[in-house]
A and B are shown apart, each in its own frame.
Chain A
Amino acid sequence: MDALAGSRVITPVRALSVGLVACRTCGLVMQRRPVPTPTTFCRRCTTVLRERLPRSAEHTLAWLIAGVILYVPANVLPVMYVSGVGGGEESTILGGVVSFWRAGSWDIAALIFAASVAVPATKFLALGVLLWTVHRGSDWARKQRTALYRLVEFIGYWSMLDVVVVALTAALLKFKALGTAEPRLGIVFFCGVVVTTMIAALSFDPRLIWDMGANDGH
């Protein structure tokens, strides 16, 4: 078992090549059964044991495409309608950013821009790069690509920010005489973008980044 002391050597042994499998839920490391075998479950938490998430790249791509498609109406359609004394006005996400910028709140404009525009765009690009390099079996910058995956995982839910802002504004601005705010259809698509891209990130198995290459033919 000394060969497994991965923390002391530069290229650590990988679980797949030494017949080990770690539970995805609780992390328990177990010996893998010889291949044609019925489904096995984790001894500790009964999660189905899998070496890799099945069809991970396909699932990620499917959810990613769904996210990109939803991103179009999410940005084109208005997300909120605000009526005031001088009549009503619908605003899109980018429109909201611009109006904050013009009103002098550049910090809030930057925050909403980051959460609603930059974060989804980064997720699309990053997951696209990850899928493409995994598909090609590239061994380029593995460590950095794994870090990129962690970034996608980390920024994932911050895009919900705009949904929260719209919901709270709508909950508060309900003075019939002076002003009301209502959510508009764009927010549904926007929420869809957040959910689909989060599922896309969760479907991606980062171990695929490390699978291709010299050591094992997976």
Chain B
Amino acid sequence: MSSCARELFVCPHCDAVHRAVVLSRHEVAACVACGRVLARHHSLSVDQLLALTLTAALLFLIANSYPLMTIEVGGMHTEATVWGAALLMLHGWAAWPAAVLALSMFILPLLQITLLFWVLAFARFGRRAPGFRGLLVTLHRSRPWSMTEVFLLGALVAIVKLSSWVHVTPGIGIWALASLTIVLTILSMVEPRFWWTLLRAHA
């Protein structure tokens, strides 16, 4: 393998071979054949990414410990959390969608935040995190199944839907969930290749 092969990019959508270019601020490199975005400039340092990951962890904690919404009917009240919504259906045949919900809305986002923190915390001190390879592969594979943003929209629809019958109060959880969605989106815009070359660039 020549060192030349390292500077090449192959578009995952159409197999076109490109030579890597240095991107400046706000620049995006797209495939000449099919238009897929191949690389995006981002100026986030390991420290900043670590800070974002910690923010995500805190927001995740808040989003899951405070109710997303509370409803009140004649002195009684019930509340829903991300975890609670999935757990409630976890009986009989409804266990199947409940498991998908729990995985995509709770377990996978938590796993991703944990993995990012682990990898970045070691990279911060110029070290390769134990299990680096397997963890990054897991991170990459689990990405399409992590759906925090869908949960956010679903919660908003549920609020509107229920508010036609009962009094619904949005809770702290929903604000945390909205912020978490933004932070996770920023983090997911960092392309996979960055993580693999993390140590080369910052050692």
Chain A residues within CB distance 8 Å of chain B: 1, 4-7, 9-16, 18, 20-22, 24-31, 43-47, 84, 100, 103, 105, 108, 111-112, 115, 142-143, 146-147, 149-150, 153, 156-158, 160-165, 167-175, 178-179, 183, 185, 187-188, 190-192, 194-195, 198, 202, 206-207, 209-211
Contacts and interface: CB of A to CB of B under 8 A. Distances in A.
A10 B21 CA distance: 17
B69 A172 contact: yes
Contacts, number: 231
A27 B34 contact: no
Given A4-B8, A157-B144, A207 B13 contact: yes
Contacts of B145: 157, 198
A7 B150 contact: no
Contacts of B31: 12
Contacts of A178: 73-74
B10 A45 contact: no
Interface string B8-30: 11101111111101000000000
Contacts of A9: 32
A36 B17 CA distance: 24
Contacts of A44: 133, 196
A40 to B, nearest CB: 12
5 closest A-B pairs by beta carbon, nearest first, are: A164-B154, A22-B10, A191-B97, A12-B16, A168-B158
B36 A27 contact: no
Interface residues of B, number: 70
B71 interface: yes
A16 B8 contact: no
Contact of B100 (A14, A115, A191): A191
B136 A164 contact: no
Nearest to B30: A7
B101 A6 contact: no
Interface stretch (B47-55, B76-84, B121-129, B179-187): B76-84
A192 B68 CA distance: 26
Contact of B10 (A15, A171, A174): A15
B97 A45 contact: no
B14 A210 contact: yes
A115 to B, nearest CB: 8
A188 B5 contact: no
B189 interface: no
Contacts of A185: 93
B15 A30 contact: no
Nearest to B159: A168
B33 interface: yes
Contacts of B157: 108, 111-112, 161, 164-165
Interface string B126-144: 0000000100110011001
Contact of A187 (B68, B97, B158, B193): B97
